[in-house]
Amino acid sequence: MAEAFTYLHPKGKPTIMIDLKINKPQPFLPLKDVTIYNRGEDIKSIINVLEAGNPVLITEFYNNGSVLLSGLQEHLNRTLPNTSFKEQRAYRAVYHKLSNLIIVEIENHKLVAKKAPVVGWFKKLYPETSDFLLTLPQVQGLNSAWQWYTNGITIPGLRNKIHPYYGTYFPTRFEHLELFDNWLKRYNGPKKSAIDVGVGSGILALQMVKHGFQKVFATDTNPNAIIGLTEMMGDTKLSRKIELDFGSLFGKWKNKTELIVFNPPWLAETRGLNNLDAAIYYNDTLFSDFFQAAKQMLLPDGKLVLIFSNFAQITGVAKSNPIEQEIAKGGRFQLEKCYKKNVKKGSEKTKRSLQYRETEEVELWVLTHV
């Protein structure tokens, strides 16, 4: 069932109605049987509770949750391999399962535990429910998302910060955005319209507007992306230059355009996906469906631009590049140019996939009709 969201924009701006159901963590009511963890208790015994599939409640200090998570990570580091890319994914799956049995309590839209952060999403996303429980990782995610949303994130090449809505994917590395920005600087084709498939936090659409496109039509299957961008644009000039639709691929847009831009997920995955995962992993039919639809939507002299990466190939997750497969098949699109850029070395604070950074490249593929 859809929920009606009303936004009253600052400085007396008009109210905008959006009839979408937002993606958010599902709150739950207090549990009857739950183990309470306070600092000083034996972490090993608490981890045994988690491994048995039973919840653990953080009630004293909010930071006790972080202490327990650190203990859980140390335990898993001793008991699970965590070297190869596949081992890292398996490790994260176990950590995700156990950490989400650690729960925290919210009363009157505030965390009960002492010295806890103020998370504005509680009131914004749960206006009808003031008292409930969430898992600690969910609360940590909400807290981080609130900081990004309120403080904004600086994106190279954009004048203003973006304020990503909760549950909306945004990049933490920018090499692919630099590739696209440089390509737009050289683009000398018509700029009447463009379509951004999978708009996310809106960065590619904003880049196209910056470079003079009169109208950008954008779609996304994540309602949070549509709600967040609608709220961010308000009734500014951007709202008249970027038009949004909640739908897959080209959504309701039917008119052909001179430029189609698609920054698809970079990893193949066959398991069921949630909306944020769908920004990272693609299913078996995504690319074939996209190219078939793009053939009908691109004007005869138009450009089809895809932003991709070799990450799946260098990690062994995929044997081939789906864009190369499409070109090899022939009949729909041909390669005009492929631009590549090395990815900067990752932070030493995380060991996640650092060994692949030396050979990882982001790619910008420019295709035209055969």
Token pair belonging to 301: 């002299």
Can you give the pLDDT at residue 282? 63
Domain boundary among 95, 115, 149: 149
Q: Verify that 334 and 203 share a domain, yes or no.
A: yes
- For residue 156, tell me if it sits in a domain: no
Q: Verify that 72 and 112 share a domain, yes or no.
A: yes
Q: Verify that 192 and 286 share a domain, yes or no.
A: yes
Can you give the pLDDT at residue 40? 81
Q: Which burial class, exposed, middle or buried, applies to 54 when counting CB atoms under 10 A from its CB (0-12, 13-18, 19+)?
A: middle
- For residue 1, tell me if it sits in a domain: no
Can you give the pLDDT at residue 357? 57
Q: Are 224 and 5 in contact (CB under 8 A)?
A: no
The DSSP symbol for 202 reads S
Q: Verify that 199 and 111 share a domain, yes or no.
A: no
Q: Verify that 202 and 341 share a domain, yes or no.
A: yes
Going by C-alpha positions, the residue among 349, 339, 352 that lies closest to residue 177 is 339
Q: Are 292 and 249 in contact (CB under 8 A)?
A: no
Can you give the pLDDT at residue 356? 56
Cα 175 → chain centroid: 17
Q: Verify that 220 and 321 share a domain, yes or no.
A: yes
Residues in the chain: 370
- For residue 10, tell me if it sits in a domain: no
Q: Verify that 245 and 346 share a domain, yes or no.
A: yes
Give the strand pairing for 102-107 and 132-135: antiparallel
Domain boundary among 149, 166, 193: 149
d(CA 223, CA 200): 10
Q: Verify that 103 and 196 share a domain, yes or no.
A: no
- For residue 266, tell me if it sits in a domain: yes
- Model confidence pLDDT, tens digit, residues 294-351: 999 999 999 999 999 887 777 766 677 899 999 998 789 999 999 999 887 654 444 4
Q: Verify that 142 and 183 share a domain, yes or no.
A: no
Token pair belonging to 269: 């995955």
- For residue 164, tell me if it sits in a domain: no
- For residue 169, tell me if it sits in a domain: no
Domain boundary among 149, 184, 217: 149
Q: Verify that 221 and 337 share a domain, yes or no.
A: yes
Q: Verify that 122 and 230 share a domain, yes or no.
A: no
Q: Verify that 179 and 74 share a domain, yes or no.
A: no
- For residue 14, tell me if it sits in a domain: no
| pLDDT digit string (tens) for the chain, length 370 residues | 345 454 444 444 444 545 788 999 999 887 778 899 988 888 999 999 999 999 999 989 999 999 999 999 999 999 888 778 788 888 999 999 999 999 999 999 999 999 999 999 999 999 999 999 999 999 999 999 999 999 999 999 898 999 999 999 898 889 999 999 999 999 999 999 999 999 999 999 999 999 999 999 999 999 999 999 999 999 899 999 999 999 999 999 999 999 999 998 867 664 544 444 545 666 778 999 999 999 999 999 999 999 998 877 777 666 778 999 999 987 899 999 999 998 876 544 444 455 555 678 899 999 999 9
Boundaries of domain holding 347: 175-369
CATH number for the domain including 360?
3.40.50.150
Strand pairing partners for 341?
362
- For residue 209, tell me if it sits in a domain: yes
* Domain count along the chain: 2
